[in-house]
Amino acid sequence: MDCWSSSLRVDDEFKKLVIRMNPPRVTVDNASDKKATLIKVLQTFVSFPDFLQVDSANKRGSLLEVVQVLTDLNLIIRRAYISSDGEWFMDVFYVTDEFGNKVYEDNVSERIQQSLGPRGHSFRLLARSVGVQSASEHTTIELSGRDRPGLLSEVFAVLTDLKCNVVAAEVWTHNSRMASVVYITDEANGSPINDPERLANIKQLLLYVLKGDREWRSANSAVSVGSTHTQRRLHQMMYADRDYDVQNVDNATTERTKPLVTVENCVEKGYTVVNLSCPDRPKLLFDTVCTLTDMQYVVFHGTIIAEGPEAQQEYYIRHMDGCPISSEAERQRVIHCLEAAIKRRESEGIRLELCSDDRVGLLSDVTRIFRENGLSVTRAEVTTRGTQAVNVFYVTDASGSPVKSETIEAVRKEIGLTILRVKDDTYSSSPPQETGRFSLGSLFRSRSEKFLYSLGLIKSCS
């Protein structure tokens, strides 16, 4: 073992020892507030010896980790107060479940402590090591590039043709850019795909799809056997792809429901003060904290109020070097990045929910029908629950405008009226006269084999 590897190992072991000696203290209080559960997280940090050259990354990432746990538990953060000074931080959250009720689950405190404690931290240290991938039950594919109508259909068609089964996926689009994290297994045995040659082929073919006729510089594809926090990774991919760049944006589109973001320096305290105001929605706090963290800023103090239709967030931040924002260009970049972080998860278009028996090629078939009917997918969430596929798609027409109701009904009839449902308050149509006599399986088995072969979609429907 070389000197660098030995030093890294000592460094990591010392960090884990310190975290075991100073675990976070988490309390869950259902008595102090009438409407919400009060969650307090307090952690102190011990300074590392100078020879270890350890920066403040542990403290810097702690707020995001707490918010990430609360978000993953589907808790709604109504209010939050953040304070970090020197060697400690204290975060206070007022939360409810998605129905507005207090939270009585016993595992909330344990989940947060595990995330910040030695078990969660040892995973983060491992993930930063060179050449290490965590074991998983699937292979992870990451894709980013310029969005265009039909792109998702082409991606899923290629994966089906390569005998890959999509078990989960999430797709975001924003400012003409697309990012997706797709989890696949081998069609034959349901195992992760580990063969380097096959993985390289998958990566290369997907890259061809992303590049299309003109996107030869900014398309990216990556394949690995490992796990990741999907939405955190999507934020990172969008940020790396510069979806916040105003040059990529249609001004008429961005001005609609544009969040209000201000960034000013508080000279007497040495902080930069960031204020946000926008319509409230689930996971808003995660999105903003994730972006500030990825931009290498430390949140020292913060106040979040989201008890009505509007959310207000205020942060006192500094760069990791301890300095506030020092230039107008940096100030504008923070504003644009936070605006992008808020807009990425906003869902444009009609929400379609698909629930059916899962099978290989299902996504390829469904998204092809969307494409043939002029629908463009702006966001997608794909999950598999046992033998059931439970998928959500947000669709517009190819120009980004609302889809006509007759087009939606035509798509539903082709896929199956009981399989594909509309979940949108603004959408109205007459009650369907037909029941679920259509099914995807019977539909595609009755299609011309020649047509299916031309698209590369003839597969076993087991």
Strands in 6-75 per DSSP E: 25-29, 37-44
- pLDDT grade, residue 86 (50/70/90)? low
Structure tokens that stand for 412 in this block = 């539903």
| pLDDT score of 118 | 54
More reliable by pLDDT, 120 or 409 = 409
Mean predicted confidence (pLDDT) in 254-276: 87
Element (H, E) at 135: none
Give residue-wise pLDDT tens across range 3-22.
544 554 555 555 555 555 56
Amino acid at 344: R
pLDDT of residue 137: 85
CB 323 within 8 A of CB 271: no
Mean of the per-residue pLDDT values of the chain: 81
Position 291 pLDDT exceeds 50: yes
- 226: CB partners within 8 A, 6+ apart: 133, 134, 135, 136, 140
Residues 6+ apart with CB under 8 A from 400: 253, 348, 376, 378
Question: Which tens digits make up the pLDDT trace of 61-78?
Answer: 788 989 998 999 899 999
- Position 331 pLDDT exceeds 80: yes
**Between 58 and 210, where is the model more confident?**
210
Summarize pLDDT for 202-243 with one digit per residue, the tens.
Answer: 999 999 999 887 665 578 888 876 667 899 999 999 999 999
Per-residue pLDDT band for 55 (boundaries 50, 70, 90) equals: very low
pLDDT in tens, 163-174: 999 999 999 999
Nearest to 437, CA basis, from 411, 422, 408, 416: 416
Cα within 13 Å of Cα(167), Cβ side: 17
Percent of the chain whose predicted confidence (pLDDT) is above 70: 74
For the chain, the 3-state helix, strand and coil shares in percent, each to the nearest 5, are 35, 30, 35
pLDDT digits (tens, 9 = 90+) for 142-201: 999 999 999 999 999 999 999 999 999 999 999 999 999 999 999 999 999 989 999 999
Residue 82 banded pLDDT, cuts 50, 70, 90: very high
Mean pLDDT (whole number) for 88-116: 84
Phi and psi at 134, nearest 5°, equal -80, 150
* Per-residue pLDDT at 390 exceeds 50: yes
Q: Which residue has the higher pLDDT, 126 or 319?
A: 319
Show the domains of the chain with their CATH numbers: 22-126+254-344 (no CATH), 139-240+348-455 (3.30.70.260)
